[in-house]
């Protein structure tokens, strides 16, 4: 279950980053995260 959740998060975050043209600040604002927290999440997921 953990692996499935991580894969979903990874796919979702990649899709949103692409949606905003790679702009991490706009992506973070859209999904309701702090930019620094999003960076940590991306690093933990290997993105």
How many other β-carbons are positioned within 10 Å of the β-carbon of residue 17? Answer: 19
DSSP state of 16: H
Q: Name the CATH topology of 2-45.
A: Arc Repressor Mutant, subunit A (1.10.10)
Q: What is the DSSP letter of 34?
A: -
pTM: 0.84
Q: What is the pLDDT of residues 1-47, one digit of tens each?
A: 999 999 999 999 999 999 999 999 999 999 999 999 999 999 999 99
Q: Where are the domains of the chain?
A: 2-45
Whether the CA torsion 18, 1, 40, 30 is positive or negative: it is: positive
Q: What is the pLDDT of residue 17?
A: 97
């Amino acid at each position: 279950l953990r692996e499935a959740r991580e894969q979903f998060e990874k796919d979702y975050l990649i899709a949103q980053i692409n949606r905003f043209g790679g702009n991490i600040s706009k992506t973070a604002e859209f999904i309701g995260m702090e930019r620094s927290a999003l960076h940590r999440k991306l690093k933990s997921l290997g993105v």
